[in-house]
Structure formats: structure tokens, C-alpha cells
């Protein structure tokens, strides 16, 4: 092999071990799951003993009311938490993007919730939502208001899991938004001030448009993560009351462990995987679009 050919092949040689590990650690399990979705498989069988049923598991999903309810809850939950977290996270970043004594400590305190294990978060909020000894209902009683059925009413239960998720993951939006704010060119901010723009106008017409690429990617990352939330909802409500808080990840877990229908659970997992892949594709398409637009502006 000539030296030039070896130089061209060198990057691929270094990438080969990572590609092999990726194929074994990622592609094999995904392929295993896809194949399992075509089988009538239960835990008492080996996968080779399961009956091949083709697309029957997917056809069942179309008429499964509980699956559709879980999918609706998942979409509503993801849209709710991401929207609220974006507003709060960006607002906090705007508020704290200034030189104040002790700001580093304050920023550290803001990111503490996302460092706590989801199981612990679920337990914390479950105790706070307790109908008699929880801090929320005790506070409401102290000021003369009626207690709220946080986890026993379908509507309030959904609100409760949204609040817990917002509390834990708003810091993620805050960190990325603050980083985007601090990376904005100071010359642009100075030009806006020279032109007489007010603080609100600077935020609305200068800062937010410049931050938009980061915010879109951040929102998509949180949306993908919101589709996979399991532990907090499992501890708080276990999907109840009824199916009011049963997201798709919890439905998949129940189908596999309680109903012992591994093939059906694999089909649901593939549907969830396709949804996440679609969101990821949107992220990449938007990144390419913004990159092309930036190149045109430079040219």
C-alpha cells in the first residue's frame, strides 16, 4: 500500500474499533428487538421457539385503545413539559446573565435538581403530594383552602407529573440558554444599544433570534428525553389514576413484565423508536438548514 493510500485509510482504521463496538452494542439489540416484534413471544420461551406472526403485533396496536391512550398521554406530556421548561429556562437565563456577586453559587443551586436520581425525585414529590401530610395540602389548609387530590384525580395527577419533570429538567434548558447568551457577540448587543433599543426590544429582536438555533436543538433534545421518562411517573402515579399518566414507556414495561407479551412490547418499542428517530431527523435537518443559511449570509 502506498503512503498516500495509507494516509487516506488511516482515519477509517482508527474508526473501525468504534464501529465494531457500536454494531455489537447498538445494532444487535435493535435488530433483536425488531425481529422479536414479528413473533408471538412470551418469557417462558426462547426466541427461537416463538411463533412467527408477521405484522400481527403492529396490527393489534392500531386497534388497541390503551396503546393509543398511552401515546396521546406521551405526546401531551412531552409537549407540556418542553414548552414550560423552555419559557422558564430561557427566562432564568435572561435574568441571571449579568455580573452579580455570588452568581456562580446561585447557578450551581439552579442545576442541582437535574443531578438527583429520578427515583429520588419521584419519592420526594410523592411525599410532598401526600393528601394529608404533604407540604402542599398542609399549606392549602393553613390558608383556609381545600386540599387538592394531587395524585388521585386524573387531571391533577397529570399536572403533578408535569410539575415534577419541570422542576428537575428546567435547569438543563437554563444551562444551555445561558451558554448561548454568553456566546453572543458583544458588538451586536452594543449596536442595539447605540440604535436606542430598549432591554425588551434587545431580547425580542436580537438575543432570541440569535439564540434560536441553540434553543431549537435544546427543545428537540428535551422532547426526545421526555418520550422516555419512566422512573418519576412510575414512583408518583404508576400510570394512574386509570391511564391518565401512563406514558408509552410505562405501557411497554407493563406489556413485557405484567402481561408477558414480549412480541407486543417489542412492537411498541419500535413505534417509540420511530418517533424518536423522526425527532432526531428534524434536529439534523434544521441544523443543516441553519448552516446553509449562514453560508448564504456570509457569501
Domains and CATH numbers, the chain: 65-298 (1.10.3720.10)
Whether 248 contacts 227, CB under 8 Å: yes
In the predicted structure, residue 121 carries a pLDDT above the cut 70 = yes
Q: Which three cell numbers stand for residue 269?
A: 418499542
The pLDDT value given to residue 298: 45
34, 71, 233, 258 from 67: Cα distances, Å: 18, 6, 17, 15
pLDDT of 88 higher than 90 = yes
Average pLDDT over residues 214-230: 87
Angle in degrees, CA 175, 188, 89, rounded to 5 = 20
Tell me the C-alpha distance between 36 and 150, whole Å: 39
* Cell numbers standing for residue 139: 399549606
Higher pLDDT, 279 or 251: 251
Considering only residues 289 and 223, tell me which one the structure prediction assigns the higher pLDDT: 223
Give pLDDT tens digits for 25-72.
888 888 889 999 999 988 888 888 889 998 999 999 988 899 999 999
215-220: list long-range contacts, CB under 8 Å, 24+ apart: 215/86, 215/90, 215/177, 215/180, 216/283, 216/286, 217/283, 217/286, 217/287, 218/86, 218/172, 218/173, 218/176, 218/177, 219/82, 219/86, 220/279, 220/280, 220/282, 220/283, 220/286
The beta strand positions in the chain, using DSSP E, are 39-40, 51-52
pLDDT at position 197: 80
Q: Cα angle at 187 between 182 and 191, to 5 degrees?
A: 120
Mean pLDDT of 226-232: 89
pLDDT at 122 over 70: yes
Give residue 216's region: left, alpha or beta (phi > 0; psi -120 to 50): alpha
Amino acid at each position: 500500500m502506498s503512503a498516500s493510500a495509507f494516509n487516506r485509510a488511516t482515519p477509517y482504521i482508527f474508526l473501525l474499533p468504534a464501529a465494531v463496538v457500536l454494531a455489537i452494542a447498538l445494532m444487535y439489540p435493535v435488530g433483536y428487538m425488531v425481529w422479536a416484534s414479528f413473533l408471538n413471544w412470551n418469557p417462558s420461551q426462547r426466541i427461537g421457539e416463538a411463533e412467527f406472526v408477521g405484522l400481527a403485533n403492529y396490527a393489534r396496536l392500531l386497534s388497541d385503545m390503551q396503546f393509543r391512550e398511552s401515546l396521546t398521554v406521551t405526546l401531551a406530556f412531552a409537549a407540556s413539559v418542553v414548552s414550560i421548561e423552555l419559557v422558564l429556562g430561557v427566562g432564568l437565563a435572561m435574568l441571571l446573565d449579568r455580573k452579580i456577586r455570588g452568581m456562580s453559587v446561585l447557578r450551581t443551586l439552579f442545576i442541582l435538581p437535574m443531578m438527583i436520581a429520578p427515583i429520588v425525585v419521584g419519592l420526594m414529590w410523592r411525599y410532598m403530594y401526600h393528601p394529608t401530610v404533604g407540604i402542599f395540602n398542609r399549606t392549602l389548609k393553613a390558608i383556609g383552602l381545600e386540599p387538592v387530590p394531587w395524585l388521585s384525580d386524573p387531571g391533577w395527577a397529570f399536572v403533578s407529573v408535569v410539575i415534577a419533570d419541570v422542576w428537575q429538567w428546567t435547569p438543563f434548558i437554563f444551562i444551555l440558554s445561558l451558554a448561548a447568551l454568553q456566546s453572543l457577540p458583544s458588538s451586536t448587543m452594543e449596536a442595539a444599544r447605540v440604535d436606542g433599543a430598549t432591554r425588551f426590544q434587545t431580547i425580542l429582536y436580537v438575543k432570541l433570534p440569535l439564540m434560536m438555533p441553540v434553543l431549537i436543538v435544546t427543545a428537540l433534545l428535551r422532547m426526545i428525553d421526555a418520550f422516555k421518562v419512566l422512573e418519576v411517573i412510575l414512583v408518583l402515579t404508576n400510570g394512574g389514576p386509570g391511564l391518565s399518566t401512563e406514558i408509552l414507556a410505562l405501557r411497554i414495561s407493563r406489556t413485557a413484565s405484567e402481561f408477558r407479551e414480549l412480541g407486543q412490547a417489542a412492537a411498541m418499542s419500535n413505534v417509540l423508536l420511530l418517533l424518536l428517530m423522526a425527532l432526531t431527523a428534524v434536529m439534523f435537518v434544521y441544523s443543516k438548514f441553519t448552516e446553509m443559511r449562514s453560508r448564504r449570509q456570509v457569501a
